[in-house]
Amino acid sequence: MNLPGYPYHQTLEQRSGQPQRRPVVIVGAGPVGLTLALDLARRDVPVVVIDDSDRIGEGSRAVCWAKKTLEVFDRLGVGEAIARDGVRWQRGRVFHGEREAYAFDLLPEAHHKMPAMVNLQQDQVEARLARAAQLDGRIELRGRHELIGLEQDSDGVTLNVRTPDGLFDMRADWVVGCDGARSPTRSLLGLSFQGQVFEDRFLIADVRLAPGVRPRGLDPARPERWFWFDPPFHRGQSVLLHAQADGLWRIDFQLGRDADTEAERDAGRIKARVAAMLDSDGFELVWSSIYQFCCRRAERFRVGRVLLAGDAAHQVSPFGARGANSGVQDADNLGWKLAAVLRGEGSDALLDAYEFERIEAADDNIGHSTRATDFISPKSALSRRFRRAALDLAARTEFAKPLVNSGRLSLPSAHVDSPLSTPDADPWAGGPGPGCPAPDAPLDGGGWLSERLRGGFALLAFGWPVNVERLPVITLPGEGLAATRYGARPGSVVLLRPDGVVAARWHRFDADAVSAALLRAHGRPNE
């Protein structure tokens, strides 16, 4: 697949020396920056995205795109292509040695538009996002623009940028740093990035198999996530296997703390590890990398008019696929808030709520990631003994299965304490409460609820229609799958935010209560 570039062009702004004021400048054209750019543009906010490179980074890096992320991509017009071109999966199997200890199904229930997970190489996802951005006249994608200075005042932000033609200044109302774990934006804000560095080294190998070679019997037509603790082909360590698009496979080998990183980079050595795992040398090594990871986050996600999203704000281990997925969900959370503030419909408190909600989500992800990493690489004799017992017992008893942790896969976080939510006034027997992700559901006449929402506020009315000024109402049956997923009964109404989060819900419609909840969800609770 051809990866689109975004070649450097000198702009009028540079030639004239007169900064042109922009509503939003995004720093970083990775999946998070491009998602945010598309989200803002779809809300009619013009965006400039700058990146120090002029092309999509090569290599597959992130692989697994979770249901919520696919729903965001779908709303932005690229989800169906990504779900079609990637590898769909929902089952995972965890082995101890050669014996299966644990199996899971991420989405046992049918009737969802987007699958539980799609594996697609990060460069291919970025390519689809970048192409969509290049086709949108409201987005300007500028390559070889390196951010080297940031200054803000009450009115806006001045960005000092280095290009092949020298330095120049840009001016924006808001700046969002989506510029990765080494984020220049975060450094220029002087924010700390603290957490835990894990000592274990891991090797990633992307390989293409010769026809007929099946990784340890796995059927490529029924892809699953396979994880081994202490397998016979890589004693004392762990291994993770995923199918990717275009016949590629991702293998992660744990190498341990004392691994000699330089020696491990040797292609012959990598191939020997892959051959031992496949029991065959019928493969081509396409890409490899050695990594060590951190679980950490920036102390703030907002400093005045500058915000952080994705790896610039938080970092986790790959296990659980929580890195890129939570970054895209940051963008989903931020886009509508920034647009509402720019339009004067939402108060500045919305951006504090972005920080509050996404710090909550980052801490949740970091907690999951740290627990998985502690299980995968135990640090004491006691934790090693616990792990061995859990793995032995899991193969034989139900109660021990949940103790096995090879990475709990990414789910959207609930923003339970969000200042934008209105707490339940009456008891609900089930369904997502305020702050929780809203489930999709099939519609009676065909199509999906998510297709009707399309990124705005909406009121779901179960059983019969209701009327609220300037708020789209979607009437759904009072019984059936959608009502069950929402815990609704005839007469219930549920207010959804543009990022698919429940803002409030009632068992009986009250127009004043809905209006008050809508104001609260815009960061204007006292009006």
Binding marks (x or -) toward ligand LIJDXRAZ, 231..250, rule CB under 6 A? ---------x-x-------x
CB of 508 to ligand LIJDXRAZ, least distance (A): 43
CB atoms within 10 A of CB 430: 10
CB of 61 to ligand LIJDXRAZ, least distance (A): 7
Please tell me whether residue 94 binds ligand LIJDXRAZ under the rule CB under 6 A. no
CB of 102 to ligand LIJDXRAZ, least distance (A): 14
- Amino acid of residue 96: H
Q: Token pair of 428, please?
A: 């609900």
- Amino acid of residue 175: V
The b-or-e profile of 393-414 (16+ CB within 10 A means b, else e) is bbbeeeebbebbbbbbbbbbbb
Please tell me whether residue 311 binds ligand LIJDXRAZ under the rule CB under 6 A. no
Beta carbon nearer to ligand LIJDXRAZ, 239 or 503: 239
Q: Which of 114, 3, 124 minimizes the C-alpha distance to 61?
A: 124
Beta carbon nearer to ligand LIJDXRAZ, 375 or 457: 375
Beta carbon nearer to ligand LIJDXRAZ, 85 or 224: 224
Residue position matching structure tokens 């640090």 = 379
Binding marks (x or -) toward ligand LIJDXRAZ, 317..356, rule CB under 6 A? -xxxx-----------------------------------
Range in contact with ligand LIJDXRAZ (rule: CB under 6 A) among 138-146, 315-323, 374-382, 386-394:
315-323
| Total residues in contact with ligand LIJDXRAZ, by rule CB under 6 A | 14
Q: How far is CA 411 from CA 66, 69, 231, in A?
A: 7, 9, 28
Q: How far is CA 382 from CA 375, 379, 389, 393, 397, in A?
A: 12, 8, 11, 16, 21
Beta carbon nearer to ligand LIJDXRAZ, 310 or 318: 318
CB of 244 to ligand LIJDXRAZ, least distance (A): 10
CB of 287 to ligand LIJDXRAZ, least distance (A): 11
Q: Is 45 exposed, middle or buried (0-12, 13-18, 19+ CB in 10 A)?
A: buried
Beta carbon nearer to ligand LIJDXRAZ, 48 or 277: 277
Range in contact with ligand LIJDXRAZ (rule: CB under 6 A) among 62-70, 397-405, 450-458, 514-522:
62-70
Beta carbon nearer to ligand LIJDXRAZ, 64 or 517: 64
Range in contact with ligand LIJDXRAZ (rule: CB under 6 A) among 59-67, 229-237, 293-301, 461-469:
59-67
Q: Which of 24, 45, 49, 63 binds ligand LIJDXRAZ (CB under 6 A)?
A: 63
Q: Any residues with CB less than 8 A from the CB of 129 and at least 6 apart, and which? A: 31, 34, 35, 38, 73, 76, 78
Q: Which of 136, 140, 252, 311 binds ligand LIJDXRAZ (CB under 6 A)?
A: 252
| Residues 402 to 441 in contact with ligand LIJDXRAZ, rule: CB under 6 A | 407
Please tell me whether residue 86 binds ligand LIJDXRAZ under the rule CB under 6 A. no
Binding marks (x or -) toward ligand LIJDXRAZ, 2..41, rule CB under 6 A? ----------------------------------------
Q: Which of 279, 272, 254 minimizes the C-alpha distance to 204?
A: 254
How far the first Cα of the chain sits from its last, in Å, is 52
Beta carbon nearer to ligand LIJDXRAZ, 185 or 317: 317
Range in contact with ligand LIJDXRAZ (rule: CB under 6 A) among 4-12, 39-47, 312-320, 458-466:
312-320
Range in contact with ligand LIJDXRAZ (rule: CB under 6 A) among 60-68, 297-305, 306-314, 514-522:
60-68
Q: Token pair of 498, please?
A: 């543009």
Residue 318 CA to residue 280 CA, distance in Å, equals 27
Q: Any residues with CB less than 8 A from the CB of 198 and at least 6 apart, and which? A: 292, 293, 294, 295, 317, 373, 377
Beta carbon nearer to ligand LIJDXRAZ, 181 or 519: 181
CB of 283 to ligand LIJDXRAZ, least distance (A): 17
State CA 432 to chain mean position distance: 20
What secondary structure does DSSP assign to 63-91, as a single string?
A: -EEEHHHHHHHHHTT-HHHHHHHSEEE-E
Q: With contact defined as beta carbons under 8 Å apart, do 503 and 439 qualify?
A: no
Q: Any residues with CB less than 8 A from the CB of 318 and at least 6 apart, and which? A: 62, 202, 252, 293, 407
Residue 281 CA to residue 292 CA, distance in Å, equals 27
Q: To 5 degrees, how large is the angle CA 491–CA 494–CA 499? A: 160
CB of 63 to ligand LIJDXRAZ, least distance (A): 5
Side-chain half-sphere exposure of 217, counting CA atoms within 13 A: 2
| Residues 353 to 382 in contact with ligand LIJDXRAZ, rule: CB under 6 A | none
CB atoms within 10 A of CB 36: 29
Q: Which of 196, 286, 291 minimizes the C-alpha distance to 249?
A: 286
Beta carbon nearer to ligand LIJDXRAZ, 318 or 439: 318
Query: Rule CB under 6 A: which residues touch ligand LIJDXRAZ?
Result: 62-64, 204, 225, 240, 242, 250, 252, 318-321, 407
